[in-house]
Amino acid sequence: MQNPEPRIGAVVMASGFSRRLGCNKLLLPLDKGSVIGTILEQLRRVVYDPVAVVSRYDEVLTLAEEMGFRPVPNPSAAEGKSSSIRLGIGALQRAMVIENFTIPAGLIFFTGDQVLLSDSLLRKLRDVFLEAPDRIVVPVYDGAPGSPVTFPSDMIPRLMELKDEEGGMKAAKEQAHRIQYVPAEPGWQGMDIDTEESWRLAADLFAAHKGEKSWNRSFLAEPE
Query: Is residue 76 assigned to a domain?
Result: yes
Region of residue 22 (left: phi > 0; alpha: psi -120 to 50; beta: else): left
The share of the chain scoring above pLDDT 90, in percent, equals: 66
Average pLDDT over residues 49-54: 93
Query: Is residue 172 assigned to a domain?
Result: yes
Query: Is residue 219 assigned to a domain?
Result: no
Query: Is residue 56 assigned to a domain?
Result: yes
Q: How far apart are CA 58 and CA 129, in angstroms?
A: 33
Check residue 211 and give its pLDDT. 52
Q: Which domain holds residue 81?
A: 8-213
Backbone angles phi, psi at 145, to 5 degrees: -65, 150
Query: Is residue 74 assigned to a domain?
Result: yes
Average pLDDT over residues 59-85: 94
pLDDT tens for 150-200 read: 999 999 999 999 999 999 999 999 999 999 999 999 999 999 998 889 988
Q: Which residues contact 211 (CB under 8 A, 6 or more apart)?
A: none
Query: Is residue 224 assigned to a domain?
Result: no
Domain count, the chain: 1
Check residue 54 and give its pLDDT. 97
Kindly report the average pLDDT of the chain as a whole number: 87
* Global pTM value: 0.88
Query: Is residue 63 assigned to a domain?
Result: yes
Query: Is residue 92 assigned to a domain?
Result: yes
CATH of the domain at 96: 3.90.550.10
Q: How far apart are CA 91 and CA 74, in angstroms?
A: 11
Q: How far apart are CA 69 and CA 27, in angstroms?
A: 18
More confident: 38 or 220: 38
